């Protein structure tokens, strides 16, 4: 290709270099550009215009450029899509209810401002691209939090699973509202527990998935791998049984395990946070989709060997399934996959650990990873009781066995 395009490029370059640019026409708008390019030569032509290439796919690149650069590339006929940066870097308008990273940060800050006695916001570390991974700590006695039984809710390990960010956030918001309205049950729970929420473990991936104006179906984080590809599957990067099945050594794979256990700043931040909060007894990691409640092990077919440990997971999972209607099962019933959050949390720290795969139940007709905003209130309602139940028993999850 390159001779033709370079010829055009030169021509375009010449035209632009002799064209007078009146100062009044300077336009500082930046554009996201999706530009066809299938090899390094075409990408070099693109880079020569001055745009910043952000992502490279097999047959196109995504770049940010100004109006002049956009026009130059349009003359080449390679621009497939463009949109002003100010307009996008956000969900498609039909999904604007979902939180992008800026909105999520604002919502978490608002909660701290609105409930200063109950909520403490902090950064637990930063991502590959330098975003803060945010955590909310909630308790009626924030200063004595470390002495309270604690539970951790997490969402957004996987970039495209946006509902997994929304649901724990909205349920926690609702709990705080109920607390301030005087709901006795909620007051009792919040006053006697330390509740941790990390709604977006992978904010780089979240932003990447939405930034071009079209969903990228992205799963991993945004680590630059040694072969030029991007991303590690954070739910394959925890250390327990790392690399022993159901994860890939190929950096380009969706389930790339990373170069080593905890090679990623995001998983390291979670590890440190959990290890710094020894009072965490229970953990729930939200994912989408399939409507499942999963418990260890995921990296092997064996059931949890200790009978009480096994029964506590099974009993709690079955109880929660009565409320949300999901299917409760050992994770490896799905498929073997090693290095996930829950195997590590239970295997290393004996934390009672669950993964929820939220709605929909299947991709057929249900929207898969992108089910739209109408499901949000439905999924909030069906998962509120399971979350309250886990909070209730966080003082000693084994109490559920006595009730049987
Ligand atoms: O594969 C995953 O990481 C999870 N499913 S998802 O569609 N959200 O990607 C399931 C995790 C289950 N873990 C194991 N099978 N170990
Ligand atoms: Zn997931």
Residue 404 — very low, low, confident or very high, per pLDDT cuts 50/70/90? low
Model pLDDT, residue 108: 95
Which bound ligand lies closest to the C-alpha atom of 337? 1
Model pLDDT, residue 24: 38
SS3 21: coil
Model pLDDT, residue 8: 31
> Of 200, 178, 213, which is closest to residue 82 (Cα–Cα)?
213
Residues with CB under 6 A from ligand 1: 158, 161, 235, 287, 294, 298-299, 331-332, 334-335, 337, 340, 355, 357
Distance of CA 249 from the midpoint of ligand 1 (Å): 17
Residue 227 exposed, middle or buried by CB count within 10 Å (0-12, 13-18, 19+): exposed
Distance of CA 329 from the midpoint of ligand 1 (Å): 13
Q: Are 189 and 118 in contact (CB under 8 A)?
A: no
Distance of CA 294 from the midpoint of ligand 1 (Å): 9
> What does the pLDDT look like over 37-61, one tens digit per residue?
998 889 889 988 887 665 566 788 8
Region 333-351: what's the mean pLDDT?
96
Left (φ > 0), alpha (ψ -120 to 50) or beta: where does 374 sit?
Answer: alpha
Q: 155, 158, 291: which to mutate for ligand 1, most atoms within 8 A of CB?
A: 158
Distance of CA 156 from the midpoint of ligand 1 (Å): 12
Q: 161, 202, 220, 337: which to mutate for ligand 1, most atoms within 8 A of CB?
A: 337
> What does the pLDDT look like over 84-126, one tens digit per residue?
765 557 899 999 999 999 899 999 999 999 999 999 999 999 9
> What does the pLDDT look like over 223-259, one tens digit per residue?
999 999 999 999 999 999 999 999 999 999 999 999 9
How far is residue 294's CA from residue 121's CA, in Å, rounded to a whole number? Answer: 29
- Is residue 357 flagged as an active site residue? yes
- DSSP calls for 298-322: SSSSSPPSSHHHHHHHHHHHHHHHH
Radius of gyration of the chain (CA): 24
How far is residue 267's CA from residue 262's CA, in Å, rounded to a whole number? Answer: 6
Phi, psi of 31 (to 5 degrees): -125, 140
pLDDT > 90 fraction of the chain, expressed in percent and rounded: 78
Out of 21-25, 31-35, 183-187, pick the least confident. 21-25
Write down all domains in the chain, each with its CATH number in brackets. 3-86 (3.30.70.980), 93-402 (3.40.630.10)
Which bound ligand lies closest to the C-alpha atom of 244? 1
């Amino acid at each position: 290709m390159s001779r033709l395009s370079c010829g055009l490029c030169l021509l375009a370059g010449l035209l632009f270099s002799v064209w007078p640019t009146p100062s009044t026409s300077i336009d500082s708008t930046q554009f996201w550009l999706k530009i066809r390019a299938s090899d390094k030569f075409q990408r070099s032509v693109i880079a020569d215009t001055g745009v910043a290439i952000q992502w490279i796919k097999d047959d196109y690149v995504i770049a940010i450029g100004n109006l002049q650069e956009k026009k130059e590339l349009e003359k080449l006929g390679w621009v497939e899509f463009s949109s002003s940066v100010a307009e996008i870097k956000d969900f498609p308008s039909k999904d604007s209810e979902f939180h992008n990273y800026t909105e999520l940060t604002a919502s978490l800050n608002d909660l701290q401002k609105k409930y200063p006695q109950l909520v403490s916001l902090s950064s637990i570390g930063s991502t590959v691209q330098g975003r803060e991974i945010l955590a909310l700590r909630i308790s009626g006695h924030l200063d004595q939090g470390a002495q309270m039984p604690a539970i951790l809710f997490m969402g957004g390990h996987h970039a495209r699973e946006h509902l997994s960010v929304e649901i724990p956030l909205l349920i926690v918001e609702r709990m705080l509202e109920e607390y301030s309205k005087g709901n006795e049950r909620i007051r009792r729970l919040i006053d006697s527990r330390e509740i941790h929420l990390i709604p977006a473990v992978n904010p780089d991936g979240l932003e990447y998935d939405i930034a071009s104006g079209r969903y990228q179906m992205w799963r991993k984080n945004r680590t630059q791998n040694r072969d030029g590809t991007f991303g590690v599957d954070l739910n394959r990067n925890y250390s327990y049984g790392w690399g022993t099945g159901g994860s890939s050594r190929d950096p380009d794979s969706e389930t790339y395990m990373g170069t080593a256990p905890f090679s990623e700043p995001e998983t390291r931040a979670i590890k440190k946070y959990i290890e710094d909060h020894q009072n965490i007894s229970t953990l729930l990691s939200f994912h989408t989709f399939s409507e499942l409640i999963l418990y260890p092990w995921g990296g092997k077919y064996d059931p949890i060997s200790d009978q009480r440990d096994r029964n506590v997971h099974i009993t709690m999972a079955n109880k929660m399934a009565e409320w949300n209607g999901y299917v409760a099962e050992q994770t490896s019933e799905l498929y073997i996959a090693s290095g996930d959050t829950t195997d590590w949390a239970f295997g290393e720290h004996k934390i009672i650990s669950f993964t929820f795969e939220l709605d929909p139940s299947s991709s057929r007709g249900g929207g898969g990873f992108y089910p739209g905003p109408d499901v949000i209130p439905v999924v909030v309602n069906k998962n509120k009781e399971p979350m309250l139940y886990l909070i209730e028993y966080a003082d000693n999850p084994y109490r559920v066995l006595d009730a049987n």
